[in-house]
Each structure stands twice: as structure tokens, then as C-alpha cells.
């Protein structure tokens, strides 16, 4: 077997330069064939997803918006160690650490906490490396179907703790579920 005839993909085709017959040169047969192909598409299933009403089914490992978790007693897990910011390839995360006051023990789990925690959603690429880097199980990428809402201001895309921390009701519900099991 010579090198010219080998086809690794099995799709190799010999280019032919033969003269077209009279029927082929009329093009009418080819046009009718083309019309039949498009007619088949007229009745085929439509691929459009009507977005606001229908939502595309997402993968089970889909990574949506971030959430800063609370533990069973409703205290924030984050200790502002900065590993997430360090691991972030898009450099979207910034934070400012603060020391926990004695009367804040019910709010933060450990002695240090994030006073400011901001993710720039315009920079974030939703890679999930922050979640992997976190030693305290504090940051998670949820399966939330709500993407970042649109806005006219750039500032609106910098999400602070008000948007990122898990709501208290959700923490209470999680604890109740856990106790029930």
C-alpha cells in the first residue's frame, strides 16, 4: 500500500475531475435534491430554546454564583486567609481581614474573619479554583440558575458580602434538615 492511498480517518476521498454528464450540467436534478434537503429541515425538530421561559438543562457539575457559607450555628466559615484570592487565576477576589470582637462569637466561627470580601463578577471566570483552595469550606460555587444580573454600572458587578454570604434563613433550614436526618 502506497502512502497516497492510506486513510487514517477513513474519510479520505479521491478528488475526481471527470466531465459532468448532460443531466448533471442541467443542475436541475441537483436543485431538486437541495430543495428536498431543505424541505426535510422544515419538519425537523427545532433546536431553539425559548430563553426566559425555557432554560437549558445544565450539567451536574455546573458552577454558578458563589456563596460564602455559614456553619450549623449560623456563623461565617471564612477566616480571610486569602488562599482563594491567591488561587484565583482572574484575580477577581479581594478581601480585608479583621479580628473578631468578644461579643461577635455568634457571627464568626474563628478569631479572624473577612470584614470586606469582594468578587468582581466581570473578572470571574467561574473556574471553581477558589472553592478547591478554601481550607475552611467557606466559599462554594452554587448550582444557582440565576446568572449575574445585567446592569449599567460597573460597580454593580462587584459583589460584596451582602450578596455573597449565605442568607441566615437558609442556614437555619440546612441545620434543621441535618438534625432531622
Residues that bind other proteins (CB under 8 A): 31, 34-35, 37-39, 41-42, 44-48, 50
Question: Least distance to other proteins from the beta carbon of 47, Å?
Answer: 5
| Residue 88 in grid coordinates | 484565583
Q: Is 134 part of any known ligand binding site?
A: yes
- Specify the residue, 46 or 56, whose C-beta has the smaller distance to other proteins: 46
Q: Name the CA radius of gyration of the chain, rounded.
A: 29
CA distance 68 to 166: 6
67 strand-pairing partners? 140
Three cell numbers at 169? 434563613
C-beta closer to other proteins: residue 42 or 180: 42
Tell whether 68 is in a known binding site. Answer: no
Q: Is 56 annotated as a binding residue?
A: no
Q: Among residues 6 and 47, whose Cβ is nearest to other proteins?
A: 47
* Minimal distance, residue 43 CB to other proteins, in Å: 8
Sequence-distant (≥ 6) Cβ neighbours of residue 61 within 8 angstroms: none
* 101 labelled ligand-binding: no
Sign for the pseudo-dihedral over CA of 158, 161, 166, 169: negative
| Residues placed in the known binding site for [4Fe-4S] cluster | 78, 81, 84, 88, 124, 127, 130, 134
Amino acid at each position: 500500500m502506497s502512502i497516497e492511498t492510506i486513510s487514517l480517518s477513513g474519510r479520505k476521498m479521491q478528488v475526481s475531475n471527470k466531465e459532468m454528464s448532460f443531466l448533471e450540467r442541467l443542475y436541475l436534478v441537483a436543485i431538486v435534491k437541495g430543495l428536498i434537503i431543505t424541505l426535510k429541515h422544515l419538519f425537523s425538530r427545532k433546536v431553539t430554546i425559548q430563553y426566559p421561559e425555557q432554560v437549558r438543562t445544565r450539567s451536574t457539575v455546573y458552577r454558578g454564583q458563589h456563596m460564602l457559607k455559614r456553619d450549623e450555628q449560623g456563623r461565617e466559615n471564612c477566616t480571610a486567609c486569602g488562599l482563594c484570592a491567591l488561587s484565583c487565576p482572574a484575580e477577581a477576589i479581594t478581601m480585608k481581614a479583621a479580628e473578631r470582637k468578644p461579643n461577635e462569637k455568634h457571627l464568626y466561627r474563628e478569631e479572624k474573619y473577612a470584614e470586606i470580601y469582594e468578587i468582581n463578577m466581570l473578572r470571574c471566570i467561574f473556574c471553581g479554583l477558589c472553592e478547591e483552595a478554601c481550607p475552611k469550606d467557606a466559599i462554594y460555587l452554587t448550582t444557582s440558575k440565576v446568572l449575574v444580573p445585567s446592569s449599567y454600572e460597573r460597580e454593580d458587578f462587584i459583589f460584596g458580602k451582602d450578596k455573597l454570604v449565605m442568607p441566615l434563613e437558609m442556614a437555619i433550614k440546612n441545620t434543621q434538615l441535618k438534625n432531622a436526618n
